[in-house]
């Protein structure tokens, strides 16, 4: 079976200016060093506001911290009269490894559809940036028991038209909307049910081999106290972490989850 390197990706959302960002990245690097974290065992990434990107890039590259970085959104356009937007080529110039697309907050507050998320993912892939594509059901869907069908519909939409070599560079994040920022984490079994179904659907859409190498993250109130059980699930390859990623020591402990068990 393909070896998938776990990934803990911190989504800072609209928190921390570029000066505060310096402090958090330094503390995170020191905390990882204190824990003697081996980056080969779990990758660390920070997904920061646009205004922090250049500072975070220069700091991490300068200090050679074992941390990667990325943005939280990208335009579907490459260049031109699109006031307020930031393009994939601009993010690529800042050596972004990742960009989040289709986060539930963007779907909710900016009306983003699966079609738009798909176009954003294609932009990122076209410029060498791995999109972390978010999917996940709202509470009403979970309560009706339709979460798997709903999420697989989103997966079909966000991956539509991708070539296998593009799909191989995608990361999918299953983020049940009712668990984001609420403190109400999905049970490990809930996370596994949907992440496993996503992997099976990717196998149908592309190939079993591609599906086995694709990283699928869980997101929604993940923290150091619940990460070990989540990571014990066979189809959970890491986490997209909001609130807990703003606390350096807590986030570092999540990255080093193998030592918590």
Active site residues: 103, 175
- Name which of 199, 201, 198, 231 is nearest 213 in CA terms: 199
In angstroms, give the least distance from the CB of 11 to ligand PEP: 4
Alpha carbons 92 and 70: distance in angstroms, whole number = 9
Alpha carbons 62 and 119: distance in angstroms, whole number = 33
Question: N- to C-terminal Cα distance for the chain?
Answer: 23
Alpha carbons 225 and 260: distance in angstroms, whole number = 9
In angstroms, give the least distance from the CB of 106 to ligand PEP: 11
Q: What element of type H or E holds 75?
A: none
When the beta carbons of 235 and 242 are compared against ligand PEP, the nearer one is 242
- Looking at beta carbons, which residue is closest to ligand PEP? 242
Alpha carbons 226 and 245: distance in angstroms, whole number = 14
Q: Which residues of 41-57 are buried (b: 16+ CB within 10 A; e: fewer)?
A: ebbbbbbbbeebbebbb
List 46's β-bridge partners, or say none.
10, 69
Q: What is the binding site for ligand PEP (CB under 6 A)?
A: 11, 13, 175, 180-181, 219-222, 240-244
């Amino acid at each position: 079976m393909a070896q998938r390197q776990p990934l803990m990706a911190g989504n800072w959302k609209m928190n921390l200016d570029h000066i505060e960002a310096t402090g958090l990245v330094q503390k995170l690097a020191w905390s990882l060093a204190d824990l003697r974290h081996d980056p080969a065992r779990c990758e660390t990434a920070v997904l920061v506001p646009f205004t922090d990107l250049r500072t975070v890039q220069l700091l991490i590259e300068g200090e050679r911290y074992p941390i990667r970085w990325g943005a939280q959104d990208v335009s579907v356009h490459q260049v031109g009269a699109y006031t307020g937007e930031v393009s994939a080529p601009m993010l690529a110039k800042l050596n972004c490894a990742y960009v989040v697309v289709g986060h539930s907050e963007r779907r909710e507050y900016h009306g983003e559809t699966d079609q738009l998320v798909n176009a954003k993912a294609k932009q990122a892939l076209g410029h060498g940036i791995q999109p972390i594509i978010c999917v996940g059901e709202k509470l009403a869907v979970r309560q009706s028991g339709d979460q798997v069908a709903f999420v697989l519909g989103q997966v079909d939409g966000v991956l539509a038209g991708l070539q296998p070599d593009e799909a191989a560079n995608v990361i999918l994040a299953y983020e049940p909307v009712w668990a984001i920022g609420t403190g109400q984490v999905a049970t490990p079994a809930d996370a596994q049910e949907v992440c496993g179904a996503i992997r099976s659907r990717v196998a149908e859409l592309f190939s079993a081999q591609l599906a086995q190498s694709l990283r699928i993250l869980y997101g929604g109130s993940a923290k150091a106290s619940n990460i070990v059980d989540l990571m014990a699930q066979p189809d959970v390859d890491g986490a997209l972490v909001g609130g807990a990623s703003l606390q350096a020591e807590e986030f570092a402990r999540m990255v080093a989850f193998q030592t918590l068990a």
